[in-house]
Amino acid sequence: MPFTDQTALITGASTGIGAAFARDLAARGTHLILVARSKNKLDALAGELRTAHAIRVDVLPADLTRPDAVADLSDQITRLGHTVDILINNAGFATHGDLAAADPHRVHNQVQLNVSAVVDLTTVFLPAMTARRRGTIINIASTAAFQPLPHMAVYGATKAFVLSFTEALWAEAKPTGVRVLALCPGATETPFFDVVGAEEASVGKRRTPEQVVATALKALDRGVPSIVDGRANTLVTRLPRLLPRRATIAIAERSVRPRTTSPTPVTTHH
């Protein structure tokens, strides 16, 4: 797949998997549009990549939980005169704790970022890719997408949406030449878990962001609708097909059960 002189829009690009995508694509000669809330982190990454690879990097800070954020972002990209060839919907966050104790505003924002922003950005940029008969969309789902996840109920449900949405889109886009992939990482060495303060939210051995990105780019060449990163994670995601639903939910509940009885859910980002 060609990457040189393409332009990639990456959300959640300031750290973790998003930053790893930026570094990998920059090394392949891809121009970048970096989106996240933290302008300082984006500026630092952009400076690093411009110097190392002589590519164009645009920094567009945005809070994608805002209902009008995607429209504003699209307008900015249009004014810059850029064409988005690769869209990587990576921004997302989770809360760890029971829904009964959750902040309704945070729950709403979680759905807005993990679901609505993904759909809106895809809807904005897919038509032009289809018209050109080339393009790439990578949506970051999760191993959490494969079973209900008590104590992280909204997060698991949003990632199940992303997986289903993306796999359906893969079938729609396949005849047009546009590549679509749902990437499903498990626990990954990113700031996602640093903020949570609850190790029980991280299940299994953590992989590196670079391993996750390598898995995604290899999967694009294979033309598959979705990919789980890591052999152990792949085996875990197959269990729900073999076990009774009640058993699957019970195992998931024990895996991420809070170790404290704090009534306030904590938040993680990727």
Query: What is the spatial distance between Cα 197 and Cα 113, in angstroms, rounded to a whole number?
Result: 21
Beta strands in 162-225 (DSSP E): 178-184
For residue 221, the 8-state DSSP code is H
Structure tokens at 101: 């104790």
The values of phi and psi at residue 122, to 5°, are -65, -45
Considering only CA atoms, which of 186, 182, 185, 170 is closest in space to residue 226?
A: 182
What residues pair up with 256 in beta bridges, in sequence order? none
User: Cα–Cα distance between 187 and 200 in angstroms, integer?
Assistant: 11
With CA atoms as reference, report the closest residue to 13 among 85, 86, 89, 114.
89
Residue 193 has which token pair? Answer: 């878990």
CA 170 – CA 122 distance, rounded (Å)? 12
Annotated catalytic residue within 155, 165, 192, 193:
155
- For residue 160, is it left (φ>0), alpha (ψ between -120 and 50) or beta? alpha
Specify the amino acid at residue 138.
Answer: I
Residue 177's region, left for phi above 0, alpha for psi from -120 to 50, else beta, is left
In single-letter form, the type of residue at position 149 comes to: L
What string of DSSP letters covers 209-220? HHHHHHHHHHHH
Residue 232 a catalytic site member: no
**What residues are annotated to the active site?**
155
